[in-house]
Amino acid sequence: CTQTACPVSCSNSSTCFIQGNTTNCSHCEPISLELCLNLPYNLTSYPNYLGHQTQKDASISWESSLFPALVQTNCYKYLMFFACTVLVPKCDLDTHQRVPPCRTLCKNSKERCESVLGIVGLQWPEHIDCTQFPEENADNTSCLMPDQDVEECSPSHFKCKSGRCVLASRRCDGQSDCDDDSDEEKCSCQEQGLWECPSNNVCIKHTMICDGFPDCPDLADEKNCSSCKYNEHVCNNHECVNRSLWCDGKIDCSDSSDEWDCVTLSKTTPSLLTVHKFATEFHVCADEWQDDLSALACQQMGLRGIPITQMVHEPNGRKKWLHLDSNWRHQNVSALQMLLVKGQPCHSRSKVSIVCEKEECGFRPAARMTKR
Amino acid sequence: ILGGRTSRPGRWPWQCSMQSDPSGHICGCVLIGKKWVLTVAHCFEGREKASVWRVVFGINNLDHPSDFMQTRQVNRIILHPRYNRAVVDYDISIVELDTEINETSYVRPVCLPSRDQSAQPDTYCYITGWGHMGNRMPFKLQEGEVRIISRDKCQTHFDMKTITSRMLCAGYESGTVDSCMGDSGGPLVCEETGGRWTLYGLTSWGSVCFSKIMGPGVYSNVTHFIDWIEKQIYLHTFLL
């Protein structure tokens, strides 16, 4: 390599490491640059014609901001296509080499759009010298020209009826950006092929409904997603799992949500240990309780320190209680709920109450003072 | 960090460095528990295997290991399942260390915000990292004070990208103090009453930080991910 390290584009190539050069290390990779996801090809090869070593470099480059801004001026129908051929050059699957744009495409883009840039005091990117690209139909060379049906706007843009490209984020924003106002037409989510959050009218993709990740502020996109039977409980990802499996220490929902929040403390004083086993809330009988079990409970709640344990006597308590399994000392378990069983008498008639400490965090050491 | 200053050793005890051979420091990271670190998902692009990484804590000068330094190997990398590399959304990951760190005044976790605790626009917070300074890469940890910017205002700086609720903007319109390449994954922390520091952001993306295009930096919005972070840690501590 001429540099001390292999370029990122060659980092996965054994050729680069073994032979110490970058020859033959080029490879095709899928296009991930958002601006150029609607090209008639989907593989690219780096470095590109602007000198960027990776698509990440290209995505944060000056040019990847410049071209989309320029495309809004409608200066040349195929400007975005040209921009993408230099930002993410097509990769030839046979040779793994990049395919350049044709010189004519480059020249047309420059001639029609350079003057627009000049108006706002900017210059055409200096790396783009059209003479480096081959002429169309030149011997033994291939180059890219746009088809008639090539998409003029990038995926980040909305195409006005007039053909102009405006930023997608400006569609339906209450202000006309297209010269024919078409960016403010058909603005409902339904007409855009999207789903509308009822509380704030934000549009989300249909694939985001019932996917386990809330996207609407009131979680409306994650409601009414499952119909579980009477003996089942709903998982966070909307699967149904038998209630008897809830908080049994084993994962039954594929997203493990049946084992989340199994151990909590009541908001009352004293704070009673509460376990959500069988999808029902139980208090815990104090028979045989030990301090290390309190420590485990605090850890499960994300709290640390040495807990304070109290036994709260409740001779007439009617709330359902859980009891330590008679065999609990011989069980090697990681979660408290695995040690608790129901249906046994609580001889002490006392419930476990715990006070946990919050984990120490966020404090910086005090600044040291030195005598001057 | 652009426009920052060299930090005093131990001033940011939660700052850590994600390192991999042969490059050394690649990304910043933040200690949130004895065995758990947050960073951004994009740091692992092309380096997804846990075994190639090590995490260094308690260090100020990358070139001069200190007595307070602790190094841990990575046991597990948990990328956010919705991470989208094309638009850099959901840019967050959790790293499980092979063994717990020893908590000292130089190595100490930061607090995470609660679900309803978000960084308020116009408040001032700090970013830290060993990223590019505009003219060179530093050896010593840099810190910079940045202002939290509302999402609407931030969107006006990034015509080509959507600022989502998973993102948080901070910095200045002129870009005078900003994070830069190599700061990714590092903390954006704000001081709460009582002198406690809370992690609100992880350095994620922005304009080319030493180009003519200025603007704020964009950080992963930690508040948005609190449920996911807590559940992943719980799952991998108590159930797997």
What residue in B sits closest to A334 (Cα-Cα)? Answer: B238
A203-207, B12-16, B180-184: range with highest mean pLDDT? B12-16
In angstroms, what separates the C-alpha of B2 from chain A's closest C-alpha? 17
What is chain A's mean pLDDT, rounded? 84
Q: Is the pLDDT of residue B240 over 70?
A: no
Q: Is the pLDDT of residue B73 over 80?
A: yes
Q: Is the pLDDT of residue A41 over 50?
A: yes
The DSSP H or E segment spanning B85 is: none
In angstroms, what separates the C-alpha of A227 from chain B's closest C-alpha? 24
d(CA B229, CA B94): 7
> ipTM value of the model?
0.80
Banded pLDDT at B16 (limits 50, 70, 90): very high
Q: Which of residues 61-90 of A touch B (CB under 8 A)?
A: 61-62, 64-65, 68-69
Does residue B132 have an active-site annotation?
Answer: no
Question: When comparing pLDDT for A344 and B219, which is higher?
Answer: B219
Mean pLDDT score, A32-57: 86
In angstroms, what separates the C-alpha of A287 from chain B's closest C-alpha? 24
Does residue B42 have an active-site annotation?
Answer: yes
Catalytic residue among B20, B25, B89, B91: B91
Q: Is the pLDDT of residue A13 over 50?
A: no
B177 CA to centre of own chain: 16
Please judge whether A34 and B159 are an interchain contact, meaning their C-beta atoms are less than 8 angstroms apart: no
Q: Is the pLDDT of residue A15 over 50?
A: no
Contact in structure between A84 and A68 (CB atoms under 8 Å)? no
Please judge whether A364 and B234 are an interchain contact, meaning their C-beta atoms are less than 8 angstroms apart: no
Helix (H, G, I), strand (E, B) or coil at B122: coil
Q: What is the pLDDT of residues A241-277, one digit of tens each?
A: 999 999 998 999 988 899 998 999 998 888 999 999 9
d(CA A153, CA A185): 18
Helix (H, G, I), strand (E, B) or coil at B10: coil
B70 CA to centre of own chain: 18
Q: For chain B, list the strands marked E by DSSP.
A: 5-6, 15-20, 24-33, 36-39, 53-57, 70-79, 93-97, 124-129, 142-149, 167-171, 187-191, 197-205, 217-221
Which of A37, A72, A276, A364 is the best residue to mutate to test the B interface, defined by the most B CB atoms within 10 Å of its own CB? A364
Please judge whether A359 and B33 are an interchain contact, meaning their C-beta atoms are less than 8 angstroms apart: yes
Please judge whether A60 and B213 are an interchain contact, meaning their C-beta atoms are less than 8 angstroms apart: no
Q: What is the pLDDT of residues A328-356, one digit of tens each?
A: 888 888 899 999 998 888 889 999 999 99
Share of chain B above pLDDT 70, in %: 97
Q: Which of B22, B208, B235 is the closest to A60 by Cβ?
A: B208
Does residue B184 have an active-site annotation?
Answer: yes
Chain B partners of A61 at a C-beta cutoff of 8 Å? 208
Which of B11, B88, B160 is the best residue to mutate to test the A interface, defined by the most A CB atoms within 10 Å of its own CB? B160
In angstroms, what separates the C-alpha of B73 from chain A's closest C-alpha? 22
Q: CA separation (Å) from A318 to A285, A315, A321?
A: 12, 9, 9
Which of A333, A361, A368 is the best residue to mutate to test the B interface, defined by the most B CB atoms within 10 Å of its own CB? A361
